[in-house]
Amino acid sequence: MIRVATIDDLAGVLNLYKELRPSDPNLELNFAKDKWIELINNKQTYIVVAEIDGELTSTCALGINMSIANGARPFAIIEHVITADKFRRQGLSRQVLEFAISLAWQQNCCKVMLLSGENLTSAHALYELVGFKSGIEKGFVIKPPI
């Protein structure tokens, strides 16, 4: 089942993110719950999940960004695409991405953007499979100083 995450999905999403970003710090439980509630209640953020037999197997985050450009249409960004290792090669990432893109079109977004690690060529093939194209725009990233 592909759906938008609910308040009860925190542990499953955190498990998936641990596979995606193993060096991220562990969040204190109450802090994580507070941030999760804030995230789930944000009407411009969607955490899309795939669930099999009660277990979250794949996820991505979709952010809707309001704009005055493009006829005042919003644009969307997808981040944190992950499928649990034991569930890979079953089309789950493709399904959560397609669901997220559909949500963006429902919100009248003028485009959906996605950043990916430069060397993740198998992920890039997946993104192209669902319709993303490289070479249209160039992404840049800046991170805060350590």
Three-state SS across the chain? Answer: CEEECCHHHHHHHHHHHHHHCCCCCCCCHHHHHHHHHHHHHCCCEEEEEEEECCEEEEEEEEEEECCCCHHHCCEEEEEEEEECHHHCCCCHHHHHHHHHHHHHHHCCCCCEEECCCCCCHHHHHHHHHCCCCCCCCCCCCCCCCC
Weakly modelled stretches of the chain, pLDDT under 50: none
How much is the pLDDT for 118?
A: 82
How much is the pLDDT for 121?
A: 82
* This prediction's pTM: 0.92
How much is the pLDDT for 49?
A: 98
